[in-house]
């Protein structure tokens, strides 16, 4: 056992992440207003409703404020007869490598975990609006740096993520992540497979609640998620990005991107048993349980993560886990090394010992 622990310490991938020195511009007060705009000004963003459509128009108006010629594409689809749309904004389209930043914008039709009223809707301030608010503010700050970024950035708003079944359905017979699954099925309509390639995808889901503490989500590409944790810790956000996070696998919008081969990470909290944020799929997922500081933590960490790798003048000093998809190869190699190690150092000597004993016994028998 000691030998295996020693081996793991030597061979486990454990890169030091060094953040590039640059002033971060993400403003949490702006992000908080964007949460409020969605939850209090627009209202419930339940698929099939007018407010749901208004929310898409709100996102477009915010991008047009950044630059009136910002273009966008709808990805339209239906779920059991209800019209839905994912919405995609691209920045730096001339660059060949693509970073996707995503969040879902629909809010859950029924508060299936509410202690009092499970038929009431979920305001979705954290579960939905927080991730979208951070995307809007990131769009503003990254647009200012666009000429110095060596990548294209997609801001991708997913529909129909949050209507699946926990204790009951949000909308009868809907699955989780209806929008992202269909988007990835059609992703080749949105990029040129011979000229462009994906670097990574970062999903923001439930990133604005008070007492923010992210988990290690195990569908995520672990080298990518680990790097984002290190970036956040180095910015001083050590409670939100703990050294030993809780671990769980969550079916969320990133899963289809992982399956397509894009390194992807889900920034999400414990929502199943969390006394520090017990409002998941209840009517209490509202503005009063949102924290400016949590929005800052998420926004600044993602902003810094992008500068570390993609800000032109900082590339040479970058240290991190890139390329993130070495994950699988590394894990495979690690297993291979461990087995070889066991065979060479433990099993071989035992075999040699047994053979020697057998030979000695044979000699004795011959005498
Ligand atoms: C996460 C946040 N999800 C919805 N809102 C997806 C999910 C919820 C997946 C419960 C499994 C169980
Ligand atoms: Zn949800």
Tell me, in angstroms, the distance from the centre of ligand 1 to residue 30's CA.
27
Q: Specify whether 220 is located in the same domain as 361.
A: no
User: Can you name the residues that pair with 293 across neighbouring β-strands?
Assistant: none
Q: Cα angle at 101 between 286 and 201, to 5 degrees? A: 125
Number of domains observed in the structure of the chain: 2
- 215 φψ region: left (φ > 0), alpha (ψ -120 to 50), beta (else): beta
Q: Which residues are within 5 Å of ligand 2 (an ion), measured at CB?
A: 127, 162
Q: Specify whether 151 is located in the same domain as 200.
A: yes
Q: What's the chain's length in residues?
A: 367
Q: Specify whether 3 is located in the same domain as 116.
A: no
Asked if residue 176 has its Cβ within 6 Å of ligand 1, the reply is: yes
* Whole-number pLDDT of residue 280: 99
Residue of the CA atom closest to atom 5 of ligand 1: 162
Q: Specify whether 135 is located in the same domain as 284.
A: yes
How do residues 244-277 score in pLDDT, each as one tens digit?
A: 999 999 999 999 999 999 999 999 999 999 999 9
Q: Specify whether 205 is located in the same domain as 272.
A: yes
Q: Specify whether 125 is located in the same domain as 57.
A: yes
Percent of the chain with pLDDT over 90: 82
Cα–Cα distances in angstroms (integers) from residue 7 to residues 2, 179, 305, 349, in the given order? 9, 43, 30, 18
* Whole-number pLDDT of residue 341: 57
Q: What is the mean pLDDT of residues 125-131?
A: 99
Q: What is the mean pLDDT of residues 41-53?
A: 99
Confidence of residue 319 (pLDDT cuts 50, 70, 90): confident
* Whole-number pLDDT of residue 326: 83
How do residues 157-173 score in pLDDT, each as one tens digit?
A: 999 999 999 999 999 99
Asked if residue 251 has its Cβ within 6 Å of ligand 1, the reply is: yes
Q: Specify whether 165 is located in the same domain as 281.
A: yes
Cβ atoms of residues 253 and 162 within 8 Å = no
Q: Which atom of ligand 1 is nearest to the CA of 176?
A: 6
User: Can you name the residues that pair with 72 across neighbouring β-strands?
Assistant: 89
Tell me, in angstroms, the distance from the centre of ligand 2 to residue 165's CA.
10
Domain span holding position 78: 18-319
Q: Specify whether 223 is located in the same domain as 343.
A: no
Q: Specify whether 235 is located in the same domain as 337.
A: no
Closest by CA to 136, choosing from 177, 103, 167, 160, is 103
Asked if residue 285 has its Cβ within 6 Å of ligand 1, the reply is: no
Q: Specify whether 179 is located in the same domain as 313.
A: yes
**Which stretch of 89-93, 94-98, 322-326, 328-332 has the lowest confidence by average pLDDT?**
328-332
Q: Specify whether 187 is located in the same domain as 331.
A: no
Q: Specify whether 118 is located in the same domain as 47.
A: yes
CATH number at residue 124: 3.40.630.10
* Whole-number pLDDT of residue 358: 75
Task: Give the gyration radius of the chain's Cα atoms.
Answer: 24
Q: What is the mean pLDDT of residues 28-45?
A: 99
Q: Token pair 């389209």 is at which residue?
A: 93
Dihedrals phi, psi of 365, to nearest 5 degrees: -65, -35
Q: Which atom of ligand 1 is nearest to the CA of 281?
A: 5
Element housing 104 (H / E) = strand 97-104
Q: What is the mean pLDDT of residues 51-72?
A: 98
- CA separation for the pair 33, 128 (Å, rounded): 14
> What value does the mean pLDDT of the chain take?
92
> Which two three-digit tokens encode residue 325?
């998809």
How do residues 187-243 score in pLDDT, each as one tens digit?
A: 999 999 999 999 999 999 999 999 999 999 999 999 999 999 999 999 999 999 999
Q: What is the mean pLDDT of residues 302-314?
A: 92
């Amino acid at each position: 056992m000691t030998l295996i622990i020693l081996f793991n310490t030597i061979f486990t991938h454990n890169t030091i992440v060094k953040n590039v020195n640059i002033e971060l511009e993400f403003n949490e007060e702006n992000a908080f207003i964007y949460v409020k705009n969605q939850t209090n000004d627009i209202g419930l963003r339940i698929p099939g409703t007018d407010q749901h459509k208004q929310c898409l128009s709100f996102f477009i108006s915010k991008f047009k404020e950044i630059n009136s010629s910002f273009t966008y594409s709808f990805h339209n689809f239906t779920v059991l007869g209800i019209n839905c749309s994912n919405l995609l904004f691209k920045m730096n389209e001339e660059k060949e490598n693509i970073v996707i930043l995503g969040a879902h914008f629909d809010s859950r039709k029924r508060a299936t975990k509410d202690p009092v009223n499970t038929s009431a809707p979920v305001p979705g301030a954290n579960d939905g609006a927080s991730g979208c608010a951070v995307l809007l503010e990131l769009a503003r700050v990254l647009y200012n740096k666009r000429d110095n970024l060596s990548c294209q950035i997609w801001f991708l708003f997913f529909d129909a993520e949050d209507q699946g079944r926990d204790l009951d359905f949000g909308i009868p017979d809907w699955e989780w992540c209806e929008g992202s699954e269909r988007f990835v099925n059609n992703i080749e309509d949105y990029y040129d497979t011979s000229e462009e390639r994906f670097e990574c995808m970062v999903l923001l889901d439930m990133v604005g609640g008070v007492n923010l503490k992210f988990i290690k989500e195990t569908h995520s590409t672990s080298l990518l998620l680990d790097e984002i944790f290190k970036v956040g810790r180095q910015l001083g956000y050590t409670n939100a990005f703990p050294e030993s996070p809780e671990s769980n696998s969550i079916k969320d919008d990133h899963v289809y991107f992982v399956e397509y081969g894009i390194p992807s990470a889900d920034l999400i909290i414990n929502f199943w048993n969390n006394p520090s944020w017990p409002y998941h799929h209840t009517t209490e997922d509202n503005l009063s349980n949102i924290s400016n500081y949590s929005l800052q933590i998420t926004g600044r960490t993602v902003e810094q993560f992008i500068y570390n790798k993609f800000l032109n003048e900082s590339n040479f000093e970058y240290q991190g886990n890139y390329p993130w998809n070495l994950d699988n190869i590394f894990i495979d190699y690690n297993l291979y090394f461990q087995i070889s190690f066991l065979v060479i150092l433990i099993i071989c000597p035992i075999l040699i010992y047994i053979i020697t004993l057998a030979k000695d016994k044979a000699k004795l028998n011959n005498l």
